[in-house]
Amino acid sequence: MNEFSILLPIIIPLVGAMLVIIVRRLGGMKEGAALLATIFSLVTAIMLYGRELNYSLPWAGFGMEFTLRLYHFSAFILLAVSVFAFLITLYCCSFMRGKSYGVWFYFYLLISAAMVNGAVLADNLILMLFFWEGLLVTLFGMIAIGGKEAFKAATKAFIIIGICDLCMMFGIALTGYLAGTMTISKISMSPGSLGSVAFIFLMIGAISKAGSMPFHSWIPDAAVNAPLPFMAFLPASLEKLLGIYFLARISLDMFKLDVNSWLSILLMVIGSITILAAVMMALIQKDYKKLLSYHAISQVGYMVLGIGTCLPVGIVGGLFHMINHALYKSCLFLTGGSVEKQAGTTSLDKLGGLALKMPITFICFLVAAASISGVPPFNGFFSKELVYEGALQRGAIFYLAAVLGSFFTAASFLKLGHSAFLGKVSDANKNVKEAAPAMLLPMIVIALICILFGVYNHFPLSNFIKPILGEQRLAGHEFAINTTLIVITVVVLTGALLHHLFAVKITGSGLKSADYIRYAPVFRGIYNRAENKYFDPYDIGLKIVNVITKTAWRIDRAVDWIYEGLTVRAVYLFSNGIRSAHTGNYSLYIVWSLLGAVLVLIVIMKSV
């Protein structure tokens, strides 16, 4: 396998995308083309795994080189991306049937895969940004095809991520300037004052891609309108992988973040807030997709928190959580997709009792939900434990936030499971059937992996995660699970269960199990405001922008007035003055002339 093969993960999906467009009129061929492309890229990813390759092409110059580097970390992400791409394409083969935008969805999906692969492989900051920001276009396209109203969400997503990507562009420029090189693998510096600025800008790009607060607000909006596989594909899996990958790169390789750095605290704070705030929002949602989307935000908090601890245990936990999250969250979205496809709605009001109608979906949901809630022995449990441990070492407050998050996560999934799959079968859902095999298969596979990664957690940890940090960093660290923490976790989870039961009892339904929190004295106001988007950074930002633009507009008009108002008026004022002096009376003109003559004589004779 020569160096050229490193290009394959980028080229194959691209070619696949072209193929999809070319064959789109031939019924069924487009799915085939897409599947083929994803299979090929999966195979390539597997073959590339474990190799170290470098490849470079002449490109734009000025430090912008087309340099790709395949090494452990990127190969791992590559593999994960390929798996998800394949599974979701498979899922879509059934899900997208009969939807007019199918072609474009495959097209965007494959291009996104190519872009993510490119970004992961890139060893040049600009090249990475090229692929990274290129995702914007496909993101926009994928949301916008979702229907008449979807473009608003698409716009919102585009603006938020676009702005963050621009920040990252700035960060990259600064980093490149400080480091003197654009090659990622050659950059290694400690964040000084300017370096911290650069780090923050890069971090904005990274965590916004991962969907952390405060750059999250497009995700719930998109969840409503965008096609569900999109949610499973981009916000749930690929973007998390990419964002956390890059966050890990910047905080591990490019900038030597240490425990004492304020940047580390910053990251942890962001992580904690994200965990808590998002999960609190998730708790009260009454829509399958929206609830999941808030969790997609919340879980990012764990990863950011884990990486932010700057401790090996935390980092490993964060990265492990990244892959775990991608697994269970996409699985959850896929179950949501199945429900939507079969029941025709994702509103929890109208769902209920689907467990019997769609047993496999329900089981997959259970596994994934248990996983996300951190129930042992599923994979989520182990990664969370690692993060807890890291957080605890840095401060009890972070740990508290994480555990509290866990509590509410569990609570909200209990609510979700209860209201969607248990309870009474509503009339509308009488005829719901299990989803098609092509849709079930990916769910099953992912659910299985969840279990596998949980039970045999040493396998992914030692094969995938630990090599990322390298031997030196890990030296002297053992990841023995802290028993105390496990106990606490179990207690918390049990608490969540009890709480749920209690809540169901007092409110009378699973759906309303969180309502008492929703309408609790203090929370009520906060929630009301949150639902009216008072806290949405996007809306706040737009308000600020509005003020700026109004000011700018006034300045612009003022400048224009100088030309159209002031100058013209002044000229006409003078002009009219001069004109009215010409009265037509020649005596006056003679007087002028004589006075002029006097002046001339004064000047001429002055020098004598």
537-596: contacts with another protein (CB under 8 A): 542, 545-546, 548-553, 555-556, 559-560, 562-564, 571-572, 574-576, 578-580, 582-596
Taking CB under 8 A as the criterion, the residue among 177, 459, 502, 534 binding another protein is: 177
Q: CB of 128: closest distance to another protein in angstroms?
A: 10
Among 25, 27, 62, 193, binds another protein (CB under 8 A): 62
Beta strands in 14-94 (DSSP E): 53-61, 64-70
For residues 305 and 286, give the distance between their C-alpha atoms in angstroms, rounded to a whole number: 28
Rounded to the nearest whole angstrom, what is the least distance from the CB of residue 2 to another protein in the complex? 22
Cis geometry, peptide bond prior to residue 214 (ω within 30 degrees of 0): yes
Report the DSSP beta bridge partners of residue 54: 69
- Phi and psi at residue 146, to the nearest 5°: -75, -5
Distance of CA 193 to the CA centre of its chain: 27
Give the integer Cα–Cα distance in Å for 535 and 538: 8
CA distance 92 to 143: 15
Nearest residue (CB) to another protein, 428 versus 591 = 591
Out of 12, 19, 33, 174, the residue judged to bind another protein by CB under 8 A: 174
For another protein, the binding residue among 29, 39, 64, 422 (CB under 8 A) is 64
Scanning residues 290 to 329, which ones bind another protein (CB under 8 A)?
Answer: none
Regarding 600 and contact with another protein (CB under 8 A), the answer is yes
Sequence-ordered list of residues with C-beta below 8 angstroms from that of 475, at least 6 positions apart, any chain:
none
Residue with Cβ nearer another protein (4 or 574) = 574
Residue with tokens 């390789």: 253
What CA–CA distance (Å, rounded) separates 136 from 548?
25
Question: 155 vs 426, which CB is nearer to another protein?
Answer: 155
Closer CB to another protein, 127 or 492, in the complex: 127
Q: Which is nearer to another protein, 208 or 361 (CB)?
A: 208
Angstrom distance (rounded) from CA 443 to CA 464: 22
Q: How far is the CB of 589 from another protein (least distance, A)?
A: 2
Number of residues that bind another protein (CB under 8 A): 81
Which phi and psi angles does 339 have, rounded to 5°?
-60, -45
CB under 8 Å to 519, separation ≥6 — which residues? none
Alpha-carbon gap, residue 126 to 128, rounded angstroms: 5
Residue with tokens 């976790």: 489
To the nearest whole angstrom, how small is the minimum distance from the Cβ of residue 596 to another protein? 4
Q: Mark the segment that binds another protein (CB under 8 A) among 309-317, 418-426, 456-464, 597-605.
A: 597-605
Closest approach, Cβ 36 to another protein, in A, equals 24
Toward another protein, which CB reaches closer, 51 or 554? 554
In the range 22-61, which residues lie near another protein by CB under 8 A?
58-61
Which phi and psi angles does 54 have, rounded to 5°? Answer: -130, 145
Nearest-approach distance from CB 40 to another protein, in angstroms: 22
Q: What angle do CA 213, 465, 381 make, to 5 degrees?
A: 65
Binding mask 188-227 for another protein (x = CB under 8 A): ------x--x------------------------------
Q: Distance between CA atoms of 541 and 527, rounded to whole angstroms?
A: 20
Selected from 23, 39, 173, 448, the binder of another protein by CB under 8 A is 173
DSSP alpha helices (H): ranges in 211-309?
218-225, 228-233, 239-248, 262-283, 288-308
Site for another protein in 143-172 (CB under 8 A): 151-152, 155, 158-159, 162-163, 166-167, 169-170, 172
Nearer residue to another protein within complex by CB, 166 or 363: 166
Report the alpha-carbon distance of residue 570 to residue 578 in Å, rounded.
12
Closest contact distance (angstroms) between CB of 106 and another protein is 18
To the nearest whole angstrom, how small is the minimum distance from the Cβ of residue 152 to another protein?
8
DSSP for 153-215, please give it.
HHHHHHHHHHHHHHHHHHHHHHHHHHHS--BGGG--B---HHHHHHHHHHHHHHHHHHT-TTS
CB burial of 522-541 (b: ≥16 within 10 Å; e: otherwise) equals ebeeebeebeeeebbebeee
Report 77-116 residues binding another protein (CB under 8 A). none
For residue 192, the minimal CB distance to another protein (Å) is: 14
Q: Which structure tokens are listed for 335?
A: 């179950």
Cβ–Cβ contacts within 10 Å for residue 564, how many? 11
* Helix, coil or strand: residue 57: strand
* Least distance to another protein, CB of residue 65, Å: 11
Residue whose CB is less far from another protein, 165 or 340: 165
List the one residue from 130, 233, 245, 421 that touches another protein (CB under 8 A): 130
CB of 398 to another protein, least distance (A): 31
* Least Å from the CB of residue 565 to another protein: 11
- Closer residue to another protein (CB): 201 or 378: 201
